[in-house]
Amino acid sequence: MIDYGAKPTMMTKREFLKLGLALATKGRLTNWAGNFEFSTSRVLEAADADQVRAVVLAQPKLKVLGTRHCFNRIADSPDALLSLKSMGDAVSLDPQARRVTVNAPTTYGHLCPYLDGKGFALHNLASLPHISIAGSCSTGTHGSGERNGNLSTAISALEFLTAGGDTLTLSRQKDGETFRGAVVGLGALGVITRVTLDIQPAYQMRQYVYEDLPLAQVRDHFDAIESSAYSVSLFTDWQRQRMSEVWLKCRREDGAAFDGPPEFFGARRASRNLHPIAELSAENCTAQMGVPGPWYERLPHFRMGFTPSAGKELQSEYFVPRRHAIEAILAVERLRDQITPLLMITEIRAIAADDLWMSPCYQRPSVAIHFTWKQDWPAVSKVLPAIERELGPFQPRPHWGKLFTVKPAALKAAYERLPDFVQLANRLDPKGKFRNEFLNTNIFGA
């Protein structure tokens, strides 16, 4: 981590573009899971705001890369990609205001130990810390916990470079609706260069895993199960009428409420660390068995420095209103014999409502039903419409970074602020510099 005092090295536009083009990658560029190849391998690099501006002004079409963990083509471009990796992890901490400002490409995995060392924490994390803060927040990435908003809800300010090369700073305090429209920006509004996040005092957590929670208990006690810990994840392969694992992450101050009894709604406490996909080694996973540890080593399921999840996989996820959680879970369960042969694991999580226009949890306390699939798109693409049909009555909102087949008109109906978002994008990027096929189909064609 470095501090913002350091003066950036200035380069002429000409020097920079020469360098940028020289940095174009050779060979294939794929996303993290390797399920698709980007349509260009021309990756330009920018190390500071001036270099970003030079690229933005020079390129008629451009997409910014985070850590490439999306499963769909939301970050793709046939023209040019921009990597901000060489900006580094500059950070500026304001302990009094309880805020931290980071360069956009910073990953949670790099920020969290730094924050913890200074006595601070974030409110939540996704299942993995490897992802960039800007890229995660641009798609509404979330963790778990019925009282926890998604990761984007921690953003209090954003700095962008717009299509015209202007710096635009938006804050929760000053910019009201425009800010709420821009936070989950899907990469369509400009290049995010810095992000400011709310922080809180560092805390300790304990994680317990339980095996074989009967589906009947989920049906009859869903609210009690979801409120039993700070973060609750239910894992299932949809077979044998049960959740194969339940992961409960408890803040130590909640310790009096949950202390890891041997039984939890008929599920039994695991006697060893587990991976959500039981066949895989738990070495990649954060510590369980009630061992206390810092927040950033318990909130994610997967450890920094290890491969998260399975690796060669696909993912899909649908958010439904919390009040329909049980009906939605039972609707998907009816498709078990179509789903399980293609599935590695499902995870079910509750997330608090927020007011960010393109967030899957916009004004809806939500339950997210996630699928980690085997990497077989021809087969998975056939089962997704069936799942989407079963969830249809609950107006499912798909995760923006995962695979779905929901039609643009249904997206528009489910994401009610989509027309406002289109207007905002038209204002900030009138010529569509930051649009690509994914956005043209799902957002601008909707």
Ligand X SMILES: Cc1cc2nc3c(=O)[nH]c(=O)nc-3n(C[C@H](O)[C@H](O)[C@H](O)COP(=O)(O)OP(=O)(O)OC[C@H]3O[C@@H](n4cnc5c(N)ncnc54)[C@H](O)[C@@H]3O)c2cc1C
Q: Which residues are near ligand X by CB under 6 A?
A: 32-33, 63-70, 74-75, 84, 104, 126-128, 131-132, 134-136, 138-139, 141-142, 186-187, 191-192, 308-309, 399, 401
Task: Give SS3 for 318.
Answer: strand
The least CB distance from residue 66 to ligand X, in Å, is 2
The least CB distance from residue 394 to ligand X, in Å, is 19
* Pairs from 65-68 (Cβ < 8 Å, separation ≥ 24): 65/135, 66/105, 66/131, 66/132, 66/134, 66/135, 66/136, 66/138, 67/32, 67/105, 67/107, 67/130, 67/131, 67/132, 67/135, 68/30, 68/31, 68/32
Minimum CB distance to ligand X smaller for 33 or for 44: 33
Minimum CB distance to ligand X smaller for 221 or for 429: 429
Minimum CB distance to ligand X smaller for 33 or for 348: 33
Minimum CB distance to ligand X smaller for 129 or for 269: 129
Minimum CB distance to ligand X smaller for 86 or for 271: 86
Task: Give SS3 for 9.
Answer: coil
Matching residue, tokens 């960039």: 132
The least CB distance from residue 32 to ligand X, in Å, is 5
Strand partners, 145: 351
The least CB distance from residue 21 to ligand X, in Å, is 20
Q: State the sign of the Cα–Cα–Cα–Cα dihedral 287, 290, 292, 296.
A: positive
Minimum CB distance to ligand X smaller for 53 or for 68: 68
- Burial letters 46-83, b for 16+ CB under 10 A, else e: bbbbbbbbbbbeebeebbbbbbbbbbbbbbbbeebbbb
Residue 263's H or E segment, with its range, is strand 263-264
The least CB distance from residue 300 to ligand X, in Å, is 8
The least CB distance from residue 142 to ligand X, in Å, is 4
Among candidates 142, 129, 55, which has minimal Cα distance to 294? 129
The least CB distance from residue 4 to ligand X, in Å, is 17
Distance CA 341, CA 279 (A): 15
Minimum CB distance to ligand X smaller for 85 or for 219: 85
Q: How far is CA 245 from the centre of its chain?
A: 22
Minimum CB distance to ligand X smaller for 75 or for 217: 75
* Alpha-carbon Rg for the chain in angstroms: 21
The least CB distance from residue 192 to ligand X, in Å, is 4
Matching residue, tokens 């109906």: 413
